[in-house]
Amino acid sequence: MLLSRRNVRIKVMQVLYTHEQSPDIPFTTLEKSLRERINNSFRLLIYNLYLIEKTAEYSVEDAGHKSSKHLPTEADKKVSVRIFHNPIIQKLVLDENFKRIIREQKLTYLPDTDYFRTWFKALEDTSAYKNYIQVENPPIEEDKRLILYLYRKVLLLSELFTQHVEDSFTTWNDDATIIENQLVLLIDKIATQVEKEIVKGNEKFIKFPESMNEEHEFSNELLNRVYYNEEYLGSLITPKLENWDKERLAQIDLMLMKMALAELLYFPNIPIKATMNEYIDIAKNYSTPKSGEFINGILDKIMKELKEQGLLKKEGRGLIEN
């Protein structure tokens, strides 16, 4: 999966929230909305990676402009294109699968080439970039650090970048944090692959998935299990809320507990601990400050009963321990 399961869970949560607000929406419409949300996150992730690559690639064009001046300055003569030769950037430049995805998703038509100039110039003025180009053969950790600096400290802090991505993708405000976290993981994965190739002396392309089939399969199953078992899942939760005013219970908290229970009951290959930790963390980020602790307490009580009743059927060693 290119998108993490947490990303997918959040998309399912968003669709279920829409269902809660408008119960008459057909299930097929919810499924379609979920598919579109996941596809859009994939496009956003790939597009952010593409903007990083093209910004770094502009260093070559910039060097050409400076070297062709009639009277180049000393600084012009010392211009560096090291960032373009950064092995992580080269992975993207040479990867045919990445190029194909960019074309198929019609992402090459979105940015103005002046954007890359603006972002590269902003990077060029930083001490991080100046220090990086002074090192003749930087280790892969330094290569990775510079790329992440370009993304986090130049692109994400640029009003031009924010405005452009917001204009191009209507869900950017909802997805920004998800995409940033996933992109960091993806860059780390590419850097690890580069490091292995240096040791082994061979070369491989990045294994971008041909489609979001895994993400769609997991998300559809989760949505289906919650939607069609909503009454049963709610019946497990309600008795544990005897000291709580159900009307004042955060709607997202109730929804996340139903999703967590659906995973515990109907997804035998997902460890209990992974499910618990994920939904507690999502609650902390998307609900109230105390939601994580509250959800943990309720789910823990329900889970103990499900274990006693033999309803938690996890496959594989270690999957049932919490």
Average pLDDT rounded to a whole number, residues 215-227: 96
Cα(138)–Cα(143) distance, rounded to whole angstroms?
7
- Select from 31, 35, 42 the least CA-distant residue to 4: 42
Query: At 239, which CATH number?
Result: 1.10.940.10
Inform me whether the pLDDT recorded for 75 exceeds 60: no
Average pLDDT rounded to a whole number, residues 17-44: 94
pLDDT at 72: 56
Q: Are residues 153 and 280 in the same domain?
A: no
The domain boundary residue, chosen from 182, 200, 218: 200
Q: Are residues 277 and 162 in the same domain?
A: no
Query: Considering the domain boundaries, does residue 205 fall inside one?
Result: no
pLDDT at 268: 93
**Is 259 within 8 Å of 13 (Cβ atoms)?**
yes
What is the model's pTM? Answer: 0.84
Q: Are residues 185 and 55 in the same domain?
A: yes
Query: Could you tell me the residue range of the domain that residue 110 belongs to?
Result: 5-200
Question: What letter does residue 246 receive in the DSSP assignment?
Answer: G
**Which amino acid makes up residue 322?**
N
Cα(91)–Cα(10) distance, rounded to whole angstroms?
30
Average pLDDT rounded to a whole number, residues 101-122: 94
Average pLDDT rounded to a whole number, residues 90-118: 92
pLDDT at 289: 86
Average pLDDT rounded to a whole number, residues 229-233: 96
**Is 257 within 8 Å of 16 (Cβ atoms)?**
no
Q: Are residues 178 and 284 in the same domain?
A: no
DSSP string, 77-104: HT---TTTT-HHHHHHHH-HHHHHHHHH
The domain boundary residue, chosen from 181, 200, 219: 200
Query: Considering the domain boundaries, does residue 117 fall inside one?
Result: yes
Percent of the chain with pLDDT over 70: 87
Q: What is the mean pLDDT of the chain?
A: 88
Query: Considering the domain boundaries, does residue 206 fall inside one?
Result: no
Q: Are residues 112 and 48 in the same domain?
A: yes
pLDDT at 245: 61
Inform me whether the pLDDT recorded for 187 exceeds 50: yes
Cα(161)–Cα(157) distance, rounded to whole angstroms?
8
Q: Are residues 170 and 253 in the same domain?
A: no
Inform me whether the pLDDT recorded for 34 exceeds 90: yes
pLDDT at 127: 96
Query: Considering the domain boundaries, does residue 266 fall inside one?
Result: yes
Q: Are residues 29 and 145 in the same domain?
A: yes
Query: Considering the domain boundaries, does residue 250 fall inside one?
Result: yes
Average pLDDT rounded to a whole number, residues 185-198: 85
pLDDT at 199: 52
Cα(193)–Cα(186) distance, rounded to whole angstroms?
11
Spatial neighbors of 45 by CB under 8 A, at least 6 apart, are 2, 3, 179, 182, 183, 186
**Is 222 within 8 Å of 263 (Cβ atoms)?**
yes
Q: Are residues 194 and 240 in the same domain?
A: no
Q: What angle do CA 93, 137, 203 make, to 5 degrees?
A: 40
The domain boundary residue, chosen from 152, 179, 200: 200
Pick the residue with more confidence: 204 or 109? 109
Q: Are residues 262 and 129 in the same domain?
A: no
Pick the residue with more confidence: 145 or 242? 145
Query: Considering the domain boundaries, does residue 217 fall inside one?
Result: no
- Here the tokens at position 221 are 């199953």
pLDDT at 322: 47
Query: Considering the domain boundaries, does residue 53 fall inside one?
Result: yes
pLDDT band at 196 (very low <50, low <70, confident <90, very high): confident
Number of independent structural domains in the chain: 2
Q: Are residues 164 and 102 in the same domain?
A: yes
Inform me whether the pLDDT recorded for 19 exceeds 70: yes
pLDDT at 271: 93
Q: Are residues 149 and 267 in the same domain?
A: no
Average pLDDT rounded to a whole number, residues 98-121: 93
**Is 165 within 8 Å of 49 (Cβ atoms)?**
no
What's the pLDDT tens digit per position in 245-303? 665 578 899 999 999 999 999 999 999 999 999 999 999 989 988 899 999 999 999 99
Q: How many CB atoms lie within 10 A of CB 300?
A: 12
pLDDT at 207: 64
Query: Considering the domain boundaries, does residue 70 fall inside one?
Result: yes
Q: Measure Cα distances from 244 to 68, 124, 240, 306 in Å.
A: 73, 56, 9, 22
What's the pLDDT tens digit per position in 137-146? 899 999 999 9
Helix axis angle, 230-237 to 291-308, nearest 10°: 100
Q: Are residues 244 and 175 in the same domain?
A: no
